[in-house]
Amino acid sequence: KNEVEQSPQNLTAQEGEFITINCSYSVGISALHWLQQHPGGGIVSLFMLSSGKKKHGRLIATINIQEKHSSLHITASHPRDSAVYICAVPSGGSNYKLTFGKGTLLTVNP
């Protein structure tokens, strides 16, 4: 079973700061997901990436397959970015059957 570790567990930032959330996993994978979970519970899929870097607006995700590590960056953070950010990796041979990290609770203060 793939073990997924996220850090930090909690992160508080001031509006405008650059945010980095890290994710490490134990077993080689073909792709990794970054998800955002809002206080009400709803989940949004931010990225699925298998190599290099992806960018969407102020969000950037990178992955190093050899080092089994991925990072999620948020530039110019805003209070509306406050949420739990979760990385997830495939298990059982499917890119969509996922094992999740425990999440990083991000709070961005105005």
Partner 1 sequence: GAVVSQHPSWVICKSGTSVKIECRSLDFQATTMFWYRQFPKQSLMLMATSNEGSKATYEQGVEKDKFLINHASLTLSTLTVTSAHPEDSSFYICSARVGADRAFFGQGTRLTVV
Contact residues: partner 1, CB under 8 A: 31, 33, 35, 40-45, 48, 86, 88, 91, 94-103
Least separation in angstroms between residue 110's CB and partner 1 is 26
Bridge partners, residue 66, by sequence: none
* CA-to-CA dists, residue 44 to 26, 33, 34, 38, 41, angstroms: 24, 11, 9, 8, 10
Beta carbon of residue 96, minimum distance to partner 1 (angstroms, whole number): 4
Instruction: Closer to partner 1 by CB, 82 or 95: give it.
Output: 95
We find the least distance from the C-beta atom of residue 100 to partner 1, in angstroms, to be 4
Cα separation of 36 and 105, whole Å?
10
The smaller minimum CB distance to partner 1, of residues 17 and 100, is found at 100
Q: In terms of CB distance, is 93 or 110 closer to partner 1? A: 93
Contact 83, 38 (CB under 8 A): yes
Whichever of 19 and 32 has its CB closer to partner 1, that residue is 32
